[in-house]
A = this chain, B = another copy of it.
Amino acid sequence: MKEKILIVGSGAIGGFYGALLAKQGAEVSVVCRSDFQQVQRHGLKIESHSLGNWTFEPAQVLQQAADYQGSADYVILCTKVLPGLQRADLIRAAVDNKTAIVFIQNGVEIEQELLDAFPDNEIISGLAFICCNRNQPGRICHLAYGHLALGNYPQGISSKTRRLCTLFEQGGITCRATQDIATARWQKCVWNAPFNPLSVLSGGLLTADILSHQESLVRSIMQEVCAIAAATGHPLPEDIVEKNIASTLAMPPYKTSMLLDFEARRPMETEAILGNAVRAGQRTGAACPCLETLYGLMQLRELQMFGQRAAAKR
């Protein structure tokens, strides 16, 4: 049986993972905005350092979910999480009662919005650990990593989740099914919360410069994330800060995703990563003054970049 999958948001992440699923025989369609014509005519070219090059020709190339023909087993949302973007509206027209709603997106506490919108559907929350980008229309370059974590929300691992993991694993990447995806999100936030805003607010430093000059600040921010995670009922491993510091020291100097967006003057995932963490801290009473300072500063930086209108959305 061929899985019917609709990818919504065919940027680098959506295009890459969709292409992997199609390679394993799934019937994969895509909704894409900016490079619709290019993808319709020529498909998506994938250039992967570890998996080789191939062309992904989607079953259906669509401009919106409402144009989807058929009944999707999975709708996989791969846009950024931004205040102005109503995620439920992007997928609603392609969701029926048997559709599992998957999202491969950044941030913490981003699930409730979709659970509220689709209370009778299975919700699969996913995190990508990947370095890839879309350099030109219809062309995606996969540079490093690729590991995924998937789990049902609020918890558990359904058979549909396991099936999706198997397809990704057969495609050549590591995909871990997790009973507790919310904890996995907080774990990723331990790294994202310091390095993403510090890279932007410093005016463009790479991870290695940030860590070698401000390790103690990075540690304070990481510890605040751990305290918030614990306060929300998702305690993280005791050695997680040490492990994040050690693995960042071992990485090549790295430009964060927020910095790439900043340099391209694209909206940043400030709210999904930092705003939601701060709100969780304030809700649970976990002190997070460093995160609050970074969050306030990122809002000012965005106000300066995008002006009053963008700031008012927040």
Contact = CB atoms under 8 A, between A and B. Distances in A.
Contacts of A144: none
Nearest to A292: B217
A170 interface: no
A66 interface: no
A100 to B, nearest CB: 40
A304 interface: yes
A261 interface: no
A203 B305 CA distance: 8
Contacts of A253: none
Interface stretch (A27-35, A46-54, A293-301): A293-301
Contacts of A294: 293
B301 A201 contact: yes
A304 B213 contact: no
B299 A213 contact: yes
Interface stretch (A74-82, A89-97, A109-117, A204-212): A204-212
A199 B35 CA distance: 38
A290 B292 CA distance: 8
A204 B304 contact: yes
Contact of A304 (B202, B289, B305): B202
A269 B185 CA distance: 39
A311 B305 CA distance: 27
Nearest to A300: B202
Assembly stoichiometry (copies) = 2
A220 interface: yes
A214 interface: yes
A202, A214, A217, A221 interface centre (most CB from chain B within 10 Å) = A202
Interface in A273-314: 289-290, 292-294, 296-297, 299-301, 303-305, 311
Contacts of A220: 289, 292-293
A198 interface: yes
A202 B293 contact: no
11 contacts: A198-B297, A202-B304, A203-B301, A203-B305, A205-B300, A209-B300, A213-B300, A220-B289, A289-B289, A289-B290, A290-B293
A216 B295 CA distance: 12
A296 B214 contact: yes
Contact of A214 (B214, B216, B299): B299
Contacts of A289: 220, 289-290, 293
Nearest to A216: B296
A303 B311 CA distance: 28
Contact of A213 (B198, B214, B292, B303): B303
